[in-house]
Structure 1
Amino acid sequence: MTVLVRKFDVFIMLFINKYLRNKYLDIFMCIMTKLGNMGAVWIAIAIYSLMDKQYRYEGKVVLSTLIISTIIGEGVLKNLIKRSRPFDAEKNVKLLITKPISYSFPSGHALSSFAVAGVLSVYFAKYELIFIGLAFFIAISRIYLCVHYTTDVIGGIAIGLICSKFILVVLNFK
């Protein structure tokens, strides 16, 4: 971990804690993170799609994307990189949610959210802003809540988008 990246991550975290934290954003960000917990919102969308014969294929693709992105992020990358969480490294951090027990890089919430949002945006283009917006707020909530560094989230977003493109290429989406 380079010193420059560490300084950037700590600066962003301290800036958020000092200038942006308030009771309204605390509530909003906790809700956003809960939507991303275990891919809850994406699973709900997949189940809804699976129940409609017209969108059953898309529901299967969403579930597959969620599983693949989780294996890549939680199963492989976090265990290879083993980056500690901000609340472990910075002792003046006040957590508003339960401490996650896995490693920090990449953000699993950001990775899976952007992987699924990327796929959904292709299949349901008219809702693209909603999917990407939801993924964005889920990802940002992780920084706001001090459970990820900014670079964890940026890495998660990038890997998630690569995952979605890969899945679409493998499925030969036209």
Structure 2
Amino acid sequence: MGNIEWMILDWIQSIRTPAGDVIIPFITKLGNMGMIWILLAVLLLLIPKTRKAGAIMLAALCVDLILCNGILKNLVGRLRPCDVNTGVQLLIARPHDFSFPSGHTASSFAAVTALYLAGERKLWKPALVLAVLIAFSRLYLYVHYPTDIFGGVVVGIISGIIGFWAVGRLEKWRKRHGGMEEKAQ
């Protein structure tokens, strides 16, 4: 698998353009620390009609943070391609954490999965386009291997499912116990 990954990364480097070298770092910045997704989740929380979707997104992003950055990156400890092949000029600051899985990709796909499962039909599709662009940007910028991206997609989807499940369980618990509190008063 290693040679195929290097071939893909080298091919992407061969198709770099001056315009791409400006646009792609901007796209990747949208995914820095999951901020675009956190902002969207907060906006959804502020609107009563989409509050549940916002809660699912935040839960998914929290699960992703624990799984991806808290556990897997440190457990796997994979060096980034830019640390192995230092001959490629980076367009962004060199990341200081490990490579697997891609945190940008994982948070993006956690958000997309949360939106999809929450039934946000108008939001999940454009979010998916942005998630794919952010994932590709990590390859273009030479800071992740293709399997890091794949791992990020998988971790993100799992996080989105867990976030959806957790909010559903909390909602059931509140309905069951909320009624008891009202009766006690």
TM-score, structure 2 as length reference: 0.85
Counterpart among 20, 27, 49 of residue 54 in structure 1: 49
> Who is 2:172 aligned against?
none
Q: Deviations over 1:122-141 (max 9, x none)?
A: 32023332011111111110
Q: Shift in Å at residue 165 of structure 1?
A: 2.1
Counterpart in 1 of 2:180? none
Once the two structures are TM-superposed, the CA of residue 54 in structure 1 deviates from its matched residue by 2.2
Q: Which has the larger radius of gyration?
A: 2
Residue 76 of structure 1 aligns to a residue whose secondary structure is: helix
Q: Is the aligned partner of 1:117 residue 2:112? A: yes
8 Å CA contact retained: 2:57, 2:115: yes
- Find the aligned partners of 1:58 and 1:169 in 2 and give their Cα distance: 12
Q: 1:171 to 1:48 in 2, by over 3 A?
A: closer
1:145 equivalent to 2:160? Answer no
RMSD over aligned CA atoms reads: 1.5
Partner of residue 10, structure 1: 6
Partner of 2:98: helix, strand, or coil? Answer: coil
Separation (CA, whole Å) in 2 of partners of 1:165 and 1:65: 7
Residue number in structure 1 paired with 2:34: 39
Tell me the residue number matched to 2:155.
159
CA drift of 1:117 comes to 0.8
The total of aligned residue pairs comes to: 168
1:61 Cα deviation after fit:
1.8
* Alpha-carbon offset, residue 57 of structure 1: 2.5
Q: Kindly indicate whether the alpha-carbon contact (under 8 Å) linking 2:34 and 2:108 is maintained by their aligned counterparts in 1.
A: yes
* Residue of structure 2 in register with 1:102 after alignment: 97
Q: Report if the CA contact (8 A) 2:57-2:160 is conserved.
A: no
State how far apart, in whole Å, the 2-side matches of 1:127 and 1:48 are.
Answer: 12
The letter of the residue matching 1:31 is: F
Scaled by the length of structure 1, what TM-score is found? 0.90
Counterpart for residue 130 of structure 1: 126
Deviations 1:78-111 (A, max 9, x none): 0000000111101221100001110000000111
Tell me, yes or no, if structure 1 residue 93 matches structure 2 residue 88: yes
Alpha-carbon offset, residue 172 of structure 1: 4.0
Task: Tell me, yes or no, if the aligned pair for 2:34 and 2:107 is still in contact at 8 Å.
Answer: yes
Matched residues, percent identical? 38
2:23 is aligned, of 24, 28, 35, to: 28
What is the distance in 1 between the residues matched to 2:43 and 2:168? 24
Unaligned stretches of 5+ residues in structure 1: none
